[in-house]
Amino acid sequence: SQKIEQNSEALNIQEGKTATLTCNYTNYSPAYLQWYRQDPGRGPVFLLLIRENEKEKRKERLKVTFDTTLKQSLFHITASQPADSATYLCALDGTTSGTYKYIFGTGTRLKVLA
Amino acid sequence: EAGVAQSPRYKIIEKRQSVAFWCNPISGHATLYWYQQILGQGPKLLIQFQNNGVVDDSQLPKDRFSAERLKGVDSTLKIQPAKLEDSAVYLCASSMGQTSLSGANVLTFGAGSRLTVL
């Protein structure tokens, strides 16, 4: 069955550094890979998406890479700020075993220390 | 534009009782999703509607969970009878499209309904 893995351990980094989060998947053919941010007590909020034929996408301080050979996406937040502290979820939008599925990873909790 | 509305925000019930959650999606969004999110985990899809038809309910525990979207707009998710393991946040989301074949499918989520089963 399809599987999405994100680093389940929290990531603590110092303010101003670059945070890098990883999303790995198996048994899936995503047309798009998406990243969401979730704050405590709130629903996820869409941040950025990348298509299967794109290698890299940027939006302000955010950068996403997508390697369909490695079946991996990396999500970078440059010049991180304490306000970036949240849980980040990756989501796959595509097919598995010929069936369309939209599935989320487990999320990685990021804490940016002032 | 107005976001996805959900109610109630919090609900505490005893096991074996029933509960219902309501969701009103963004106007014009054809697709509506119900997700279950257990603490520390990612959202798990329970059911997906396209207008008022079910697209995917493969992970919905049909012996106790039911959902409907009668007029293709708002939706209700019901649990009867509830079990302890149903304690979670129930997230409703909506999107314009159904699948990635028609373009990227970006979901807009509501704030969620937190259920505690005692």
Instruction: Report pLDDT digits (tens) over B19-34.
Output: 999 999 999 899 999 9
| Under-70 pLDDT residues of chain A | none
Can you give the pLDDT at residue A1?
Answer: 73
Q: Per CATH, the architecture of A17-103 is what?
A: Sandwich (2.60)
Q: Which amino acid is at B106?
A: V
CA dist A79 and B1 (Å) reads: 31
CA dist B19 and B13 (Å) reads: 8
Can you give the pLDDT at residue B52?
Answer: 84
Tokens describing residue B86: 């149903």
A82 preceded by cis ω (within 30°)? no
Hey, are the CB atoms on B106 and A49 less than 8 Å from each other?
Answer: yes
Contacts of A93 in chain B (CB under 8 A): 100, 104-105
Three-class SS state of A12: strand
Which of A102, A103, A104, A109 would best serve as a mutation to test chain B binding (most B beta carbons within 10 A)?
Answer: A102
Query: Any idea where the domains of chain A sit in the sequence?
Result: 17-103
Three-class SS state of A106: coil
**How much of chain B, in percent, has pLDDT values that exceed 90?**
78
Residue A47 touches chain B, beta carbons under 8 Å:
no
Per-residue CA distances from B26 to B9, B30, B91 (Å)? 18, 9, 14
pLDDT tens-digit map of B40-59: 899 999 999 988 899 889 99
Q: Which amino acid is at B34?
A: W
Tokens describing residue A68: 């369909």
Residue B103 in this model has a pLDDT that exceeds 80: no
Contacts of A6 in chain B (CB under 8 A): 42
Residue B100 in this model has a pLDDT that exceeds 70: no
Contacts of A105 in chain B (CB under 8 A): 42
Q: Which domains does chain B have, with CATH numbers?
A: 5-97+110-117 (2.60.40.10)
